């Protein structure tokens, strides 16, 4: 009987987590919907606005990451490669989620010798984290040239880069349609 109670409790917990992930406002409903508009500044202080990027005809790849997130650091070479491969069609933004300003973040990137070849956006007040309902890092979001979220994935494990590139190619019209 005790095992049945434990099984029921675990099932209820699993369903609760699943409902959270797919519930409106928690990230599950972003794919296929218009992306929220956002403005931010990169490490150099340059202003970045999603509306300006989209008007230029580029898609957007957002990669939310943290300094102490080993999966985030492991994913970076793949994001760097995508940035290099599709630079003329995609704007890649690395949204840092450590809650620190640009000066400290720049120093930490240099100290840790992190090789990040795309624009880094500090999010010290977690505005973008909240806007995109991030629950775990890394979080990768792809927004097509029409401003629609085409891909959203939290976490990283080997092989995810293939799905990210497929979704990115779809968002810029180079591959089959993929909504996740």
> Do 17 and 69 belong together in one domain?
no
φ and ψ at 170, to 5 degrees?
A: -65, -40
> Do 129 and 164 belong together in one domain?
yes
Residues 39-77: tens digit of each pLDDT: 999 999 999 999 999 999 999 999 999 999 999 999 999
pLDDT at residue 178 greater than cutoff 80 = no
Return the CATH number at 121: 3.40.30.10
> Do 16 and 38 belong together in one domain?
no
The pLDDT value given to residue 28: 57
CA 71-118-126 angle, 5° bins: 65
Which residues are 141's β-sheet partners?
A: 62, 152
Residue 63 in contact with residue 94, Cβ under 8 Å? Answer: yes
β-sheet with 90-96: strand ranges across: 119-122, 90-96, 59-65, 139-143, 149-154
Rounded Cα distance between 52 and 14, Å, is 41
The pLDDT value given to residue 96: 98
Burial class (CB in 10 A: 0-12, 13-18, 19+), 162: exposed
pLDDT band at 174 (very low <50, low <70, confident <90, very high): confident
Residues 104-129: tens digit of each pLDDT: 999 999 999 999 999 999 999 999 99
Rounded Cα distance between 90 and 85, Å, is 9
Domain membership of residue 176 (yes or no) is no
Domain membership of residue 178 (yes or no) is no
Residues 9-42: tens digit of each pLDDT: 333 333 333 333 333 334 456 899 999 999 999 9
Domain membership of residue 128 (yes or no) is yes
Rounded Cα distance between 40 and 123, Å, is 8
Rounded Cα distance between 22 and 79, Å, is 26
Residues 131-171: tens digit of each pLDDT: 999 999 999 999 999 999 999 999 999 999 999 999 999 99
> Do 36 and 16 belong together in one domain?
no
Nearest to 140 by CA among 83, 68, 99, 85: 83
Spatial neighbors of 88 by CB under 8 A, at least 6 apart, are none
Q: What pTM did the predictor assign?
A: 0.82
The pLDDT value given to residue 176: 57
Enclosing domain of residue 12: 1-30
Domain membership of residue 131 (yes or no) is yes
């Amino acid at each position: 009987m005790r095992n049945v109670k434990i099984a029921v409790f675990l099932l209820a917990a699993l369903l609760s987590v699943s409902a959270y992930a797919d519930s409106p406002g928690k990230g599950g409903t972003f794919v296929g919907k218009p992306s929220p508009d956002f403005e931010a500044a990169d490490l150099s202080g340059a202003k970045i606005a999603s509306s300006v990027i989209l008007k230029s005809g580029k898609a957007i790849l957002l990669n939310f990451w943290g300094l102490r997130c080993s999966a985030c650091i492991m994913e970076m070479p793949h994001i760097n490669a995508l940035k290099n491969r599709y630079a003329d069609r995609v704007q890649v933004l690395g949204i840092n989620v450590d809650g620190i300003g640009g000066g400290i973040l720049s120093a930490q990137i240099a100290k840790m010798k992190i090789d990040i070849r795309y624009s880094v956006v500090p999010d010290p007040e977690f505005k973008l984290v909240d806007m995109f309902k991030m629950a775990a890092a890394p979080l990768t979001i792809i927004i097509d040239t029409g401003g629609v979220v085409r891909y959203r994935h939290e976490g990283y494990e080997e092989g995810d880069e293939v799905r990210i590139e497929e979704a990115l190619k779809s968002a810029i019209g180079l591959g089959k349609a993929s909504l996740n």
